[in-house]
Amino acid sequence: MVPSILLPLALAAAVQAPACARPVAPDEAAARRIAVREIAARPRPGRFVLHVFPERGDPGLWRAWQVPPAVPGRGTTRGGGGITMNIDRCTGAVSNLHYSR
């Protein structure tokens, strides 16, 4: 168990990105550009909204995924079919790319 005084330090260490000399995707904008490039290489009919967030379990990765746009008046999305991928912060390498349902 972590003493309460050390808890903020433990949490900060858990969410920090790994140290890289020159990270390829240090921020969300860079990760978004990589995701858009990968998605454009795999055309798919339909419109999607792209979301990019830090991966919960691994601070060295970004998680990018597509969802259909919200239904007007309802605020919900319908169906799936977008692309999901992980993007490495240091190298920009794309992994675990697949179509979601």
- Classify strands 61-67 and 49-54 as parallel, antiparallel or unpaired: antiparallel
To 10 degrees, the CA torsion angle through 69, 75, 79, 81? 30
CB–CB of 38/85 below 8 Å?
yes
Token pair, residue 82, equals 């977008």
pTM of the model: 0.73
pLDDT of residue 16: 56
Write out pLDDT tens, residues 32-73: 999 999 999 987 777 888 999 999 989 899 999 998 887 777
CA separation for the pair 79, 93 (Å, rounded): 28
